[in-house]
Structure 1
Amino acid sequence: MERAILVTGASGFVGSALCRTLVAQGGLAVRGAVRRPGLPMPANVSTFTVGELDTSTDWAAALAGVEVLVHAAARVHVMHETASDSLAAFRRVNVDGTLHLARQAAAAGVRRFVFISSIKVNGEASQPGRPLCADDVPAPSDAYGISKHEAEQGLFQLAATTGMEVVVVRPVLVYGPGVKANFHTMMRWVAKGLPLPFGAVDNRRSLVSLGNLVDLIITCMKHPQAVGQVFIASDGDDVSLPRLLRGLGREIGRPARLLPVPPALLQLAAGLLGRRDLAQRLLGSLEVDISKNRQVLGWVPPFTLDQGLRTTAHSFLENRH
């Protein structure tokens, strides 16, 4: 039987980019698992519709002949939670569903399971001069981060009893062509020439371009020293919010209009509007240290921050309506 790579969440932002790169590189056959039929998929990827990710999912057909599995499907962090029990909802998919898949994968003879986790396992913020590291004591604070941490723990326990190799990748904020949510909103702000009150913000955020994340995942799929390890995915170039907006403005062709409003006033306004979470993401710091990636894998980000912003901004310009 032909040996294959299976990517779950293959129609998503990260999964589809990974599938396209794997197909371009050649080698093992590439399969993509999706929740429902009809979702757009990269060319030359065999598609398996598996339904919802929970303890009833039957992965047998998708797993047959699979050598490496990259699990990118998840119940993702949501801005406006609707579930009455948020943690239970995240656990149902991200913990129970993931471990159900992993047990079937081990039984099917899958050699390596690469789990796409989240920096939220480390926490929500970093202190000045103390970037978060992959081997720090986990400190998740929201339901999404807790569920990802519990899934990591369960996977390593399963690896110890089955011999299936497990690797965990925790990305920081991912951006790239087609990015949505807050990053897309920032590009719209800049493109419209809106005055933005962030000129006095002096924070540091780690980001990771889609190209760098995909490259690290593929390294973790292959490298013998990756087994049993956790790696953080980042561009390795921390950026302040003003520098990020100026970089986007440069690539969009519309200089960012930044006003020097004191961050304390911005925090106060966000609190009055009930948007402290958004203020933390925009104004707070979250720096990471990816030196472990170089030390263990010999991996350095192949793309610079400026290159990542360029491809992201140019895609935004090509596709805006």
Structure 2
Amino acid sequence: MILVTGASGFVGSAVIARLARDGAETRACVRRSDICMPDGVHAVRVSDLTASTDWSEALAGVEAVVHTAARVHVMDDLATDPLAEFRRINVHGTLNLARQAAAAGVRRFVFISSIKVNGESTKLGAVFSANDLPAPLDPYGVSKMEAEEGLREIAAPTGMEVVIIRPPLVYGLGVKANFATLMRAVQRSWPLPLGAVHNQRSLVALDNLVDFIVICQSHPQAANQTFLVSDGHDLSTTELVRGLARAAGVPARLLPVPVWALKATAALLGKSDAVQRLCGNLQVDISKARRLLGWVPPVSVDEGLQRAVAGREDETNI
């Protein structure tokens, strides 16, 4: 039996769908009882992810946990103490679940962390690796790092195997936030000042991430390892816009505005962080996943972008 937390979320719902197609015995943790699950998937209602949550019903008979539930990174966080809020759920809630899982005899705990544990950016030509010293710069990244550390401390004396996965930006069917905004702009053929951005960024298609998660919950060599995951093909922001345009069947309307001009304008508008994400570099090394697990991303970047755009078009037509 595999337990998936965050089963109604972007990643969790995709993991549930994949496990159901594979015929795996699966239990889904949901916060509302009216959420529909695929045939054969049993839903268990868990009200919240906190340090006091009782997981006994959800963990009964479970061999592996895939933990996708989290307080996710948000722009313009309105919390008075963002780090405390992230810790409440991502650290204390996660470690409470892990302790109960170990006590219940769960064999393996797969934790979906974040590349933000490594940091926010890389120098051009350099890459993040799973062996780098953590260097998170925001409360979300700090909370994920602290959860990782706590999970390793729980694993050592209990024998529960922990697998940590740090994805970069995930895109695919149902993606929201900044990536969805960019897709919408491309689909509407808006002119974008991103035609001269020659950075390199690692992304991961949702289907590739899900495939890797499924492998990690069972592969013997994944036990007690930390992995970075991506599509294995990095893109500049200019190339990303062109790829989205191809997927949408529209022309890419790109204006070759120099990066220095974008940054100067963003500084005046108080949007420096947003432009840094568009223009900066963030590359990850997935050679460890290839070497230890023999994993190859099953979905190409072009196919991943097509699936993301098709999902966006379906939403628009509803």
Report TM bin, short chain: over 0.9
Q: For residues 115 and 39 of structure 2, what CA distance do their matches in structure 1 show?
A: 30
Q: For residues 278 and 38 of structure 1, what CA distance do their matches in structure 2 show?
A: 36
Q: For residues 152 and 299 of structure 1, what CA distance do their matches in structure 2 show?
A: 23
1:246 is matched by which residue type in structure 2?
R
Instruction: Spell out the pairing of 1:155-166 with structure 2 (5 A cutoff).
Output: 155-166=151-162
Does 2:190 match 1:194? yes
- The CA deviation at 1:40 is 4.2
Q: 8 Å contact 1:20–1:43 — kept in the other structure? A: no
- The CA deviation at 1:262 is 0.9
Over the matched positions of the two proteins, sequence identity in percent amounts to 59
Does 2:61 match 1:65? yes
Over the residues paired in the alignment, what is the CA RMSD in angstroms?
Answer: 1.0
Residues matched between the structures, number: 317
Please name the residue that 2:224 is paired with. Answer: 228
- The CA deviation at 1:30 is 0.6
- The CA deviation at 1:43 is 3.6
Q: For residues 92 and 316 of structure 1, what CA distance do their matches in structure 2 show?
A: 33
2:175 is matched by which residue type in structure 1?
V
In structure 2, relative to structure 1, the CA distance for the partners of 1:32 and 1:240 (3 Å cut) is: same
Could you list the structure 1 runs, at least 4 aligned residues long, displaced by more than 4 angstroms after superposition. Answer: none
- The CA deviation at 1:255 is 1.1
Does 2:4 match 1:7? yes
Q: For residues 132 and 155 of structure 2, what CA distance do their matches in structure 1 show?
A: 21
- State TM-score, norm by structure 2: 0.98
Q: For residues 162 and 314 of structure 2, what CA distance do their matches in structure 1 show?
A: 39
Instruction: Spell out the pairing of 1:41-80 with structure 2 (5 A cutoff).
Output: 41-80=37-76
Q: Which of 304, 312, 315 matches 1:316? A: 312
- The CA deviation at 1:37 is 2.7
SS in 1 for 2:40: coil
Q: Which of 135, 154, 178 matches 1:182? A: 178
Q: 8 Å contact 2:117–2:136 — kept in the other structure? A: yes
Does 2:23 match 1:26? yes
Does 2:275 match 1:279? yes
- The CA deviation at 1:177 is 1.0
1:226 is matched by which residue type in structure 2?
A
Q: For residues 41 and 178 of structure 2, what CA distance do their matches in structure 1 show?
A: 30
Instruction: Spell out the pairing of 1:121-200 with structure 2 (5 A cutoff).
Output: 121-200=117-196
- State TM-score, norm by structure 1: 0.97
Q: For residues 70 and 78 of structure 1, what CA distance do their matches in structure 2 show?
A: 22
Does 2:238 match 1:242? yes
Q: For residues 78 and 41 of structure 2, what CA distance do their matches in structure 1 show?
A: 34
Q: For residues 87 and 315 of structure 1, what CA distance do their matches in structure 2 show?
A: 33
Q: For residues 209 and 68 of structure 1, what CA distance do their matches in structure 2 show?
A: 24
1:22 is matched by which residue type in structure 2?
L
The gaps in structure 2 that reach 5 residues or longer are none
- The CA deviation at 1:38 is 2.3
SS in 1 for 2:261: helix
Q: 8 Å contact 1:204–1:287 — kept in the other structure? A: yes
